[in-house]
Amino acid sequence: MWLLNRLQIAWPQEWQAVAEANNERPPMWLRVNRQHHSRDEWLKLLEENGMTGHIHPRYPDAVRLDAPAPVSALPGFEQGGVTVQDASAQGCVELLAPQNGETILDLCAAPGGKTTHILEAAPQASVMAVDVDAQRISRVYENLKRLKMKADVKVGDGRFPSTWCGDTQFDRILLDAPCSGEGVVRKDPDALRNWSPQSNQEIAATQRELIDSAFHALAPGGTLVYSTCTLNREENQETVRWLLARYPQAVEVLSLEALFPGADAALTEEGFLHVFPQIYDCEGFFVARLRKTASVEPLPAPTYKVGAFPFTPLKTREAQAVIAAARKVGLEWDETLELWQRDKEIWLFPQAFTPFIGKVRFSRTGIRLAEIHNKGYRWQHEAVVALAGSDNPLGFELSAEEAQEWYRGRDVWPQAVPDADDVIVTFQHQPLGLAKKVGSRLKNSYPRELVRDGVLFSAPV
């Protein structure tokens, strides 16, 4: 309700159309890898596989499927020929216009969709991908591996570039900043679970630190693209205006007015794009393109603070509900692990680390167990593999042929159908993941970034 009221005040002409668009089913946009084939060539492959799609009028690699499909059904997905990515995210890289031979930074890079898009557009560029979240940075590695690309991937705090890039300055920087997610509600209804006006202000403060550090890491004459997937002005226009006021002699706006026919429908008075989800049939987003015209004084050396630990322990009743639900699908753990929550994520942390909270920084600690959604819990693949154990009584053994289909991201049609609706699929009594029974098939939940093709077993099994 807060958000709706704020939309009505901030955007009196647009708020109703935004609310209606957020209630529609989001489109499934794909990005065709131009290093593999042209978009038209891939559309022919799509038709040969019994599916249809149409192109985006402004972004040369974008295809919208007429009907959503699992990634395992997309021709060339396993070989890196196509990636699931919203058209708005693709537009950010088009604005960046990366060139071969340049040094490029993707800041706040996880899960790596934009990193790989930069390398598709400029395969001879030197690309660094940085994100503060060690758990999410693993997705960058996975996407690079699937697309057979290389980048310099680092875990680092974007506010302190000297700690991960030293004195390096970049020709182009893409900062897709963390935001409140107001533009992606129709794709992720839980995006605003913890939304509040106060959280907007806190996020905007972080964004100002990030855009300031990105600007310092940019070489004079270089291009900075700042983007978010939210709708409020505090995180968008006002963040960029803050940078312009801070360095008035060293930065200029590169207007997006002539970017493509019809861009004026989303153009701000400064020359930024502020796109509502109903305008271009994609996520709501904001993007600004800036040029650094002169050097600026370096940032002061960082003073390290541990900061607030972003998790809170689950209360007894909530923890008992999670434990009971996990047991139903065959996941158990002992008393040395405790349940904690961050936003809609449920994590398991070792009890032994709690005395150190607030005293040291943690990286890659614990297991992400589940995500909360309106129908219960969405168990995470890494938790199933880590906790199910060998010879799980709720396991459902696959044959070698079925296991290969699972690793290829395809649904499995077993000869005998399990009794339970949710089963841990196993091979040689080791857990492969969690599957949901749909009729006589097992729906594949294997993470798409791990999907592999070709010969998966080197010897008969």
Residues belonging to the active site: 229
Q: Which of 217, 377, 181 is nearest to 298 (CA)?
A: 217
As a three-state string, the secondary structure of 321-357 is: HHHHHHHHCCCCCCCCEEEEEECCEEEEEEHHHHHHC
Q: Residue 161 has which token pair?
A: 């570039």
Tokens of 444: 């594949």
CB 135 within 8 A of CB 123: no
Please write down the long-range contacts of 32-35, taking CB distance under 8 Å and 24 or more positions apart.
32/61, 32/62, 32/63, 32/81, 32/82, 33/61, 33/76, 33/80, 33/81, 33/82, 33/83, 33/120, 33/147, 34/60, 34/61, 34/120, 34/121, 35/120, 35/123
Query: What is the DSSP code string of 26-75?
Result: PP-EEEE-TTT--HHHHHHHHHHTT--EEE-SS-TTEEEESS---GGGST
Residue 178, preceding bond cis, omega within 30 degrees?
A: no
Residues written for the chain: 461
Report d(CA 87, CA 92) in Å as an integer: 9
Structure tokens at 231: 């709708």
Question: Which residue type does 7 have?
Answer: L
- Smallest CA-to-CA distance from 214 within 170, 251, 246 is with 170
- Tokens representing 389 are 């154990």
Residue 39 near residue 55, CB atoms below 8 Å? yes
Nearest to 324 by CA among 272, 376, 360, 276: 376
Separation of alpha carbons 198 and 376, rounded Å: 28
Distances in whole angstroms, Cα of residue 40 to Cα of each of 30, 48, 113, 284: 13, 13, 21, 27
Strand 170-176 with 103-107, pairing = parallel
* Distance of alpha carbon 386 from alpha carbon 100, whole angstroms: 41
